Amino acid sequence: MTRRFFCADLGPETREVSLSGTEGRHLAVVLRAEPGDVVKLFNGRGGEAEGRVRSVTPQGVVLEISGHHQSAGDTRRRVTLATAVPKGDRFDWLVEKATELGVCRLVPLITSRSVVEPRDTRLEKLRRVIVEASKQCRRNDLLELAPLTPWKQFLSGSFPSGSLWIAHPGGADCHEVCPAWPLEVTLLVGPEGGWTDQEIIEVQRTGGTAVSLGPLLLRVETAGLALAAVACAPVRH
């Protein structure tokens, strides 16, 4: 299998790149690249190309670029997952799997009952998780990880009619209503303590609708991924 590497500088007209930093050291030192070796590069914006190793140093690798390719639009919805942050390393797992499922944007929320508020340094480390997950699942566009966002600030944004859905017991069955969702949706998942009544009211005033994931009580990361899996499935016309 051809190995894949992230290169933000890769453009449609690029003919040569110097792969440095984590990616370059991995290719040069860990994989012991040699001149003539072929790898795949992607830029996180839908672009992909083939790169042939020209020279190798401990600091990085110079590659000649050929075979540019821009990903065509797929049939999945553009999904934003706005979620409270679970404890421990479960948020890392959530971000990794959301990337694999095809979620476009993930917004960590501060809600009334939030118990975890990750620091900026942790969010920055999670961007590396996104890159690694994208490499593994052959995704060419990176999931966008938004800054930690207070509930009121998030809800003050603009949401097209019918695009805002909140996970809440007693809502409509997500599998039944999913076909009616627009091609761009925002999914809301609350903290371990659940949403407050006021937060539910605020979502409804914004035009949001409650959706149920079934009779079982799910953890934050499980609920987020279950809902995202339904929303990210290919849309049949």
Give the chain's domains with CATH numbers. Answer: 4-70 (2.40.240.20), 78-232 (3.40.1280.10)
More confident residue, 69 or 94: 94
Give the phi and the psi of residue 90 in degrees, each rounded to 5: -70, -25
What separation in angstroms does the CA of 3 have from each of 49, 107, 130?
12, 30, 16
Residue with tokens 């030192």: 29
Distance separating alpha carbons of residues 134 and 221, to the nearest angstrom: 19
Among 51-60, 64-73, 109-118, 135-144, the minimum mean pLDDT is found in 64-73
Give per-residue pLDDT as tens, 155-205. Answer: 999 898 889 999 998 888 988 888 888 999 999 999 999 999 999 999 999
Give per-residue pLDDT as tens, 20-71. Answer: 888 998 898 888 989 999 999 999 999 999 999 999 987 789 999 988 887 7
Helix (H, G, I), strand (E, B) or coil at 105: strand
Q: Rounded to two decimals, what is the model's pTM?
A: 0.88
- H-type helices in the chain, by residue range? 21-25, 90-101, 120-137, 151-155, 174-177, 197-205, 220-232
Among 120-124, 130-134, 146-150, the minimum mean pLDDT is found in 120-124
Average of per-residue pLDDT values in the chain: 90
